[in-house]
């Protein structure tokens, strides 16, 4: 460790760009970033590795840092006996995946962050756990020091067992059987989603409650196909409760990562780009179905939040906002009643605001108040003898004053690294919002972000970088970066009818086949063949808060096969679906395969290919896109372009809409209403 003029301690993380790693750059622990050199150092010195994984917005990561990693006594033990590696899970999800699996296997339950793994010098995990208070952490350290000295064979055996377990964990084999995609099976999947819904408070039954946007995307899509009202009820209840709850920032817009209770009241206050991008998409899609003003407000405010607090000058989007400010979780967001009374300086206005947003002297969270909506506007409009317009204007005035006051507080920390895949999710969110609401500013911002992605992440051969900060990238991209970017570029084509976005999506797809395809099972590895191998080359199959990279790729390939007339893409998509089908349908937990379930639905009911061709193509596309088009591929333009599906569809001086399935088209129409009838 080297001295630094302004810090007592400085370690090798000082040269990194990740905000999470830089948070630990002046710990007394001699941290190293993950690289081949540090593994060689561990082998040379014959020391166990401590691999500590977290992310900048992680509350318990901060707690463990303060309790243990800033403590010189703890640090001296770690430095003498271990080689210590810090990993930002958002930059290196491949490493996180390996050691998270090790933790789950070692503990027999779910794990979280901070994730602390002990490993042999070659990286083979011996054991892993999560957060430990200082005394407990010191006990764990001493146990491994004794094991290393007295029974190293036990460590080797444990590493062997865990490594074998990791390599067979969620292992998927090539399925060569013919599979049938049936409405009966689809209904069974849909019913299983509904059974897991809390029909009192929305979301999953129990706590904590995570938004899980893709689960509700499937339920919307399933409802639209099957007309199952219970699915729609589940989505509406959940979206209403979230948008009115404390998980949503009622002043500034945007969603926190999850709620610790069953009511969506008390959030874990960190705000993540990946949540907000996907939730903007979800609320936009739900709005297309029911035109809820609440959903329109939620989308607008969430986009405003992202623009205000997570957007760079270059139109890239930053990763997250911390849960903590001034060392206290949620301090930036909560209120005491007397603060609100003082700021609003109007008893009538304060009474109205506090009653609507559940603000009391006692508080609803640790003697403070998390703003959440508990009463119907109509109830307060009547009580305070206001018109709807006066009620809305009063709340807007109060929120404006409180927002100005909140802006004077010490802000939560910003993780200002820019990740390719998360930017792709936000890009899709902007495009979905544009399609639902027709706000041209959403499309303008989407195109600026797409240009940012193209300029800073995509190379001439189709290779992507994972991260970007201060004009530099340092990590080769993973499969999710490719899959999400391809998906967003397909949406860009559907939104603009500019075929260059399909060309770019296809170029990136070809690169994925070349560098990620697993020849044994015909799925895609998470890590490129250009990267140094880890203990296990994981294949990401299960859909989580972000859908699995393989499920996104499978859906991309199905869409591209139609747009580009490439049957080999269709065959690959089918093969991937067949590989996961048994687990998806027989495990009884389809919520872990919600994006695969959407692909299953598209195989049950072939997507509509809706071609809009002629001088007014964009106007008709914009009108059509305000409707929910659950399994529809839009294509077209003022001219026929080069796509096979558009050939011979241009009629001089007229704009026609062709509704097709499997390349077979119905008689063309010239208005959206008639086109929608053809898709019933």
Nearest to 210 by CA among 448, 493, 561, 544: 544
Residue 254: other Cβ atoms inside 10 A: 24
In this predicted model, what pLDDT tens digit does every residue of 249-296 receive, in sequence order? 999 999 999 999 999 999 999 999 999 999 999 999 999 999 999 999
Distances (CA, A) of 401 to 325, 330, 343, 556: 21, 20, 7, 45
In this predicted model, what pLDDT tens digit does every residue of 542-575 receive, in sequence order? 999 999 999 999 999 999 999 999 999 999 999 9
301 pLDDT higher than 80 = yes
Predicted TM-score (pTM) of the model is 0.95
389 pLDDT higher than 60 = yes
Average pLDDT score, the chain: 95
pLDDT at 296 (0 to 100): 98
Our measurement of the distance from residue 197's CA atom to the centroid of its chain's CA atoms, rounded to an integer in Å, reads 21
What's the rounded Cα separation, in Å, for the pair 224 and 627? 11
pLDDT at 5 (0 to 100): 63
pLDDT at 110 (0 to 100): 78
Contact 208, 260 (CB under 8 A): yes
Q: Output b/e per residue, 518-534; b: 16+ Cβ within 10 A.
A: eeebbbbbbbbeebeeb
Distances (CA, A) of 405 to 66, 69, 318, 507, 517: 30, 35, 24, 49, 53
In this predicted model, what pLDDT tens digit does every residue of 191-204 receive, in sequence order? 999 999 999 999 99
2 pLDDT higher than 60 = no
pLDDT at 1 (0 to 100): 45
pLDDT at 43 (0 to 100): 96
Contact 196, 204 (CB under 8 A): yes
Report which listed range, 7-11, 220-224, 470-474, is most confident: 220-224
The average pLDDT across 419-436 equals 98
Our measurement of the distance from residue 290's CA atom to the centroid of its chain's CA atoms, rounded to an integer in Å, reads 24
Contact 154, 189 (CB under 8 A): no
Burial level of 146, CB count in 10 A (0-12/13-18/19+)?
Answer: exposed
Helices 549-563 and 567-586: crossing angle in degrees, nearest 10, is 140
pLDDT at 204 (0 to 100): 94
**Between residues 583 and 221, which one has the greater pLDDT?**
221
Nearest to 403 by CA among 340, 337, 313, 321: 340
């Amino acid at each position: 460790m080297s001295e630094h003029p302004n810090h007592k301690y400085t370690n090798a993380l000082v040269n990194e760009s990740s905000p999470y790693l830089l948070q630990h750059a002046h710990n007394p622990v001699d941290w190293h970033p993950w690289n081949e050199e540090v593994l060689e150092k561990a082998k040379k010195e014959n020391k166990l590795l401590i691999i500590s994984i977290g992310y900048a917005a992680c509350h318990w990561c901060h707690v463990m840092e303060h309790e243990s990693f800033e403590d010189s006594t703890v640090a001296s033990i770690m430095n003498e006996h271990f080689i210590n590696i810090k990993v930002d899970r958002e930059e290196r999800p491949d490493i996180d995946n390996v050691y998270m699996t090790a933790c789950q296997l070692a503990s027999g339950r779910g794990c979280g962050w901070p994730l602390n793994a002990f490993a042999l010098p070659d990286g083979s995990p011996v054991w892993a756990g999560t957060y430990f208070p200082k005394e407990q952490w010191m006990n764990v350290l001493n146990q491994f020091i004794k094991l290393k000295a007295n029974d190293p064979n036990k460590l080797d055996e444990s590493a062997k067992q865990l490594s074998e377990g990791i390599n067979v964990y969620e292992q998927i084999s090539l399925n060569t059987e013919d599979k049938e995609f049936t409405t009966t099976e689809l209904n069974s999947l849909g019913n299983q989603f509904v059974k897991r819904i809390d029909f009192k408070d929305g979301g999953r039954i129990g706590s904590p409650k995570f938004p899980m946007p893709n689960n509700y995307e499937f339920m919307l899509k399933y409802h639209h196909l099957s007309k199952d009202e219970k699915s729609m009820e589940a989505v509406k209840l959940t979206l209403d409760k979230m948008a009115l709850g404390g998980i949503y920032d009622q002043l500034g817009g945007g969603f926190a990562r999850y709620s610790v209770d069953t009511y969506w009241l008390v959030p874990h206050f960190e705000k993540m780009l990946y949540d907000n991008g996907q939730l903007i998409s979800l609320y936009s899609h739900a709005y297309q179905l029911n035109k809820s003003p609440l959903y329109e407000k939620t989308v607008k405010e969430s986009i405003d939040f992202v623009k205000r607090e997570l957007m760079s000058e270059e139109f890239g989007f930053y990763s997250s906002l911390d849960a903590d400010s001034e060392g206290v979780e949620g301090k930036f967001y909560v209120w005491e009643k007397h603060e609100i009374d003082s700021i609003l300086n109007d008893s009538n206005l304060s009474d109205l605001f506090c009653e609507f947003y559940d603000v009391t002297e006692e508080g609803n969270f640790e003697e403070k108040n998390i703003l959440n909506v508990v009463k119907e506007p109509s109830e307060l409009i009547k009580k305070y003898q206001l018109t709807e317009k006066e009620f809305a204007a009063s709340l807007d005035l109060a929120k404006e004053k409180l927002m100005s006051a909140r802006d004077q507080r010490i802000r939560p920390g910003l993780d200002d690294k820019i990740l390719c895949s998360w930017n792709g999710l936000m890009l899709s969110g902007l495009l979905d919002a544009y399609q639902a609401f027709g706000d041209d500013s959403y499309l303008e911002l989407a195109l600026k972000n797409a240009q940012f992605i193209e300029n800073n992440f995509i190379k001439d051969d189709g290779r992507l970088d994972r991260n970007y900060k201060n004009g530099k990238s340092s990590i080769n991209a993973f499969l999710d970066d490719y899959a999400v970017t391809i998906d967003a570029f397909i949406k860009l084509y559907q939104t603009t009818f500019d075929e260059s976005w399909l060309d770019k999506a296809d170029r990136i797809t070809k690169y994925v086949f070349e560098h990620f395809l697993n020849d044994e099972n015909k799925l895609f590895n998470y890590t490129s063949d250009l990267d140094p191998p880890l203990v296990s080359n994981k294949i990401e199959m299960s859909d989580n808060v972000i859908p699995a990279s393989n499920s996104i790729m499978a859906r991309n390939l199905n869409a591209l096969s139609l747009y580009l007339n490439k049957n080999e893409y269709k065959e690959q998509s089918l093969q991937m679906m067949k590989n996961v089908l048994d687990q998806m349908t027989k495990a009884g937990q389809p919520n872990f395969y919600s994006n695969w379930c959407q692909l299953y639905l598209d195989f049950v009911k072939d997507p509509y290919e809706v071609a809009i061709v002629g001088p007014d193509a964009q106007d008709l596309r914009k009108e059509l896109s305000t409707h929910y088009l659950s399994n529809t591929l839009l294509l077209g333009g003022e001219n026929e372009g080069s796509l096979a599906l558009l050939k011979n569809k241009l009629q001089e001086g007229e704009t026609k809409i062709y509704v097709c399935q499997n390349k077979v088209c119905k008689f063309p129409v010239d208005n959206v209403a008639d086109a929608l009838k053809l898709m019933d």
